[in-house]
Amino acid sequence: MTQNLLPHHIAIIMDGNGRWAKKRLLPRHAGHKAGVNTVRLLVKLCAEKGIEVLTLFAFSSENWRRPTQEVNLLMELFMSALQREINNLHKNNVSLQIIGARDAFSDKLQQLIAQAEKLTEHNTGLTLVIAANYGGHWDIVEAAKRLASHVEQGILPCHEINEKLFEAQLCLANLPEPDLFIRTGGEKRVSNFLLWQLAYTELFFTDTLWPDFDKVLLDKALESFATRQRRFGRTGEQVSENA
């Protein structure tokens, strides 16, 4: 596979932790713990391959609807993984960004997130984006609120709002758009992940549960991506003529 055909940005819905645990007669939490190991592996593989950005959906705006005990355990796991991994990420030149409504997290977790982002902000290797308490609807509403406040303050005439200006207010605005979306766990839906940003992303679904995702499957997703003709509205002939 040539370097050109590699996606710049991969976005993943890491689904299936609960079912992975259930199959083994373990509590759901054991699946989430096993899922963290897959995150570590994926970060390493993507960094080695020269992928620029990896965005991982860790906790959705809707995941608060889960039993309190599971939510608490997920928060603890997020915090301990951050504490444990951050120095290693920094050593490997990874820059970490967290997207989502972080004001819902405990003060301690918010502090940890801020420290981790600050520590790694100048790193030039893989950008690892963790979506936590993130929702595509939330992202779009926040962008709309910011633009509305610019209009209210008189610094932006309403008629000047366009797609480019809107996009600049969204999460990931400073990064290349996701080229490849992967969802593990068998469901064929987007579950309020990056709604705006996925407009022209290539989609790859696998039944494999997240803790079982590995190098072989990542390569399969990358091979599939490499065979796709991205037309962005044009005809196939137009695209091959310009290639």
Minimal distance in Å, beta carbon 134 to ligand IPE? Answer: 8
Q: Which residue is nearest to ligand IPE (CB)?
A: 18
In terms of CB distance, is 57 or 225 closer to Mg ion? 57
Minimal distance in Å, beta carbon 20 to ligand IPE? Answer: 7
Q: Pick one of 6, 10, 11, 13: the residue that binds ligand IPE (CB under 6 A).
A: 13
Q: Find the binding residues for ligand IPE in span 18-37 (CB under 6 A).
A: 18-19
Measured over the CA atoms of residue 167, residue 172, residue 175 and residue 181, the dihedral's sign is: negative
Our finding on whether 99 is near ligand IPE (CB under 6 A) is no
Listed residue (186, 182, 197, 192) closest to 65, CA to CA: 192
Which of Mg ion, ligand IPE, none does residue 221 bind to, with CB < 5 to 8 Å depending on kind? none
In terms of CB distance, is 140 or 156 closer to ligand IPE? 140
In terms of CB distance, is 14 or 143 closer to Mg ion? 14
Which of Mg ion, ligand IPE, none does residue 19 bind to, with CB < 5 to 8 Å depending on kind? ligand IPE
Residues classed as catalytic: 15, 63
Where are the extended beta strands (E) located within the chain? 9-13, 53-60, 95-99, 127-134, 180-183, 202-205
Q: Find the binding residues for Mg ion in span 15-34 (CB under 5 A).
A: 15
Measured over the CA atoms of residue 165, residue 169, residue 173 and residue 174, the dihedral's sign is: positive
CA pair distance 59, 75, nearest whole angstrom: 9
Going by C-beta distance under 8 Å and a sequence separation of 6 or more, which residues neighbour residue 171? Answer: 99, 100, 131, 134, 139, 194, 197
CA pair distance 217, 130, nearest whole angstrom: 21
* Count of other CB atoms within 10 angstroms of residue 238: 12
Q: Find the binding residues for ligand IPE in span 187-226 (CB under 6 A).
A: 187, 189, 191
Stretch that binds ligand IPE, among 82-90, 110-118, 137-145, 185-193 (CB under 6 A): 185-193
CA pair distance 194, 188, nearest whole angstrom: 15
CA pair distance 78, 86, nearest whole angstrom: 12
Minimal distance in Å, beta carbon 66 to ligand IPE? Answer: 8
Report the interface residues with ligand IPE, using CB under 6 A: 13-19, 57-60, 63, 74, 185, 187, 189, 191
Report the interface residues with Mg ion, using CB under 5 A: 15
